[in-house]
Chain A
Amino acid sequence: MVKESLKSALNIHNISDRMVKYIFAVVGFVSVSFLFLIMIFLFKEGFPIFKTVSLKNFLFGTSWYPTSDPPKFGTLPLIVASLSVTSIAAIFAVPFSLGIAIYLSELAPAFVREIVKPTIELIASIPSVIIGFFGMVVVAPFLQDHFDIDTGLNLFNASIMLAFMAIPTIASISEDALSSVPVSLKEASYALGANRWQTIIYITMPAALSGIWTAIILGIARVLGETMVVLMVAGGATTFPTSLFDPVRPLTANIAAEMAEASYRSDHYFALFAIGIILFLLTMFFNIIANYLSMKYKFKYH
Chain B
Amino acid sequence: MASLQAKAKAIETTSFVIITSLSYIIIAFLLFVLGYIFLEGYRALNFEFLTAFPKSEMREGGIFPAILGTLYLMIGSSVISVPIGVMTAIYLTEYVENIKVLQFIRLGINNLAGVPSVVFGLFGLSVFVIFLDFGSSIIAGSLTLGILNLPLVIRSTEEALLTVPTSYREASLSLGATKWQTIYKIVLPTALPGILTGIMLSLGRAAGETAPIMFTCATFYTPNIPDSIFSEVMALPYHIYVLATAGTHIEATRHIQYGTAIVLIVLVLSLNFTGMVLRYKYRKKFKQ
Contacts and interface: CB of A to CB of B under 8 A. Distances in A.
A234 interface: no
B175 interface: no
Contact of A129 (B23, B88, B210): B210
A24 B127 CA distance: 25
Contacts of A131: 33
Interface of A: 13-14, 16-17, 20-21, 23-25, 27-32, 34-35, 37-38, 41-42, 44-45, 95-96, 99-100, 102-104, 107-108, 116, 118-123, 125-134, 136-138, 164, 167, 195-198, 218, 221, 224-228, 231-232, 252, 255-256, 259-260, 264, 272-273, 276, 279-280, 283-284, 286-288, 291
B92 interface: yes
A137 B244 contact: yes
Contacts of B63: none
5 contacts: A24-B94, A41-B123, A96-B25, A137-B244, A279-B119
A95 B91 CA distance: 39
A192 B216 CA distance: 62
A30 B110 CA distance: 15
A60 to B, nearest CB: 22
A30 B9 contact: no
A13 to B, nearest CB: 5
Given A107-B19, A137-B244, A32 B115 contact: no
Interface of B: 8-9, 11-12, 15-16, 18-20, 22-23, 25-27, 29-30, 33, 36-37, 83-85, 87-88, 90-92, 94-96, 104-105, 107-123, 125-127, 130-131, 147, 150, 154, 178-181, 201, 204-205, 207-211, 214-215, 237-238, 240-241, 244-245, 254, 257, 261, 264-265, 268-269, 272-273, 276, 280
A24 to B, nearest CB: 4
B108 to A, nearest CB: 4
A128 B276 CA distance: 20
Given A125-B268, A128-B210, A291 B107 contact: yes
B125 A27 contact: no
Nearest to B107: A291
Given A227-B117, A259-B125, A130 B264 contact: yes
Contact of A287 (B18, B111, B205): B111
Contacts of B125: 259
B117 A225 contact: yes
A272 B119 CA distance: 10
A128 B212 CA distance: 12
Nearest to B9: A195
B8 to A, nearest CB: 6
A300 B41 CA distance: 51
A45 B126 contact: yes
Contacts of B244: 133, 136-137, 232
A130 B257 contact: no
